[in-house]
Amino acid sequence: MDFLAPLSGIAAVVVPVFLIAALGFGWKRAKLPYDSAFITTFAINVSTPCLVFSSLVRLTLGGEELLTMAAASVGCMLLAGLLATPLLLAFRLPLRVYLPALSFPNGGNMGIPVCLFAFGETGLGLAVLFFAALAVLQFTIGPALAAGRTDVAQVLRTPVIYAVAVAVIVLLTGIQPPQWVTNTTTLLGNCAVPLMLLSLGVALAGLRMQGILRSLAMSALRIVLGFLSGLAIVHLLGLQGTIRGVVLLQSTMPVAVFNYLWALRYNNAPEEVAGMVLGSTAMAFLALPLLLLAVM
């Protein structure tokens, strides 16, 4: 039954992502103890930076390839934003509410696990690199779009940025970190993926979809714009193989949960953004098998 092999490969990627996120969703709905503040803080400040560092230092990419991947990440986000802007203006929808959500994909707690299961350790490292560039923009341009200003202090308090900087120095200089450093960061980094997926499920369980039709339309637009932007960037940069697959997967991810947090913080119609997070995540799960067929 060779025709079942592609389905088996896709199920190996989709099912773990879905089940762990569903576990978080069900946990929240069952009102079981879940310290979201601690887990989110730990994931953002400890496990994710360790995952970024430990994954990047294991990469065998050269400096040119690192720059290419970072450029692809930035290009996907900027192109999605550029494509979304005239559409939002034409329909007289506020840019401060919708533009961040349409520009920034969920490259962390959904994109990283998907790329890990699809492409193994190499995919994980490349996905982390994509996410690192995404995180820098999301903590600079994201709040700037939502609030109309840049919060430099927030950027300087983002540990992922320092993890990326140290990892890049290690890669470019060829310095070998002590074994205890790599073992510790690897161990802590291994917590990141399940915590990301659990947190995604918990966050989705707490959201409510309002304005269903518009939320669904904007959710579909995020998926379409992300895929088209990724397709354009991989063609423009001439990317092939695993790098191409990772860029397409990451770029097509649904609306990042952080967009909801920024909308909530700056009172930019958070219920609308919550609907986009919920709707686009559901659509991404449905579209993931087809997307995986296209990239694997």
Domains of the chain, start order: 2-204+211-290 (1.20.1530.20)
- Which long-range contacts does 109-112 make (Cβ < 8 Å, 24+ apart)? 109/196, 109/197, 109/199, 109/200, 109/257, 110/17, 110/21, 110/196, 110/197, 110/200, 110/253, 110/254, 110/281, 110/284, 111/249, 111/250, 111/253, 112/51, 112/192, 112/193, 112/196
Neighbours of 278 (CB within 10 A): 23
pLDDT of amino acid 10 = 62
Q: What is the pLDDT of residues 218-251, one digit of tens each?
A: 999 999 999 999 999 999 999 999 999 999 999 9
Residues 75-103 have pLDDT tens digits of 999 999 999 999 999 999 888 889 999 99
pLDDT in the model for residue 154: 66
What distance in Å separates the CA atoms of residue 124 and residue 108, rounded to the nearest whole number?
A: 11
Can you give the pLDDT at residue 251? 96
- DSSP reduced 3-state for 288: helix
Kindly give the parts of the chain with pLDDT less than 70. 1-10, 13-14, 61-63, 147-152, 154-155, 207-212, 261
Q: Which residues are CB-contacts of 53 (< 8 A; sequence separation ≥ 6)?
A: 163, 166, 167, 185, 189
Residue 87's pLDDT is 94
Q: Is 80 in contact with 143 (CB distance < 8 Å)?
A: no
CB 263 within 8 A of CB 215: no
Q: Check if the beta carbon of residue 227 is closer than 8 Å to that of residue 249.
A: no
* Contact of 54 with 179, CB cutoff 8 Å: no
Alpha-helical segments (H) within the chain: 5-29, 36-42, 48-57, 63-90, 95-103, 111-138, 141-147, 152-156, 159-173, 179-189, 192-205, 212-237, 241-251, 257-265, 270-295
d(CA 288, CA 9): 12
What pLDDT is recorded for position 20?
84
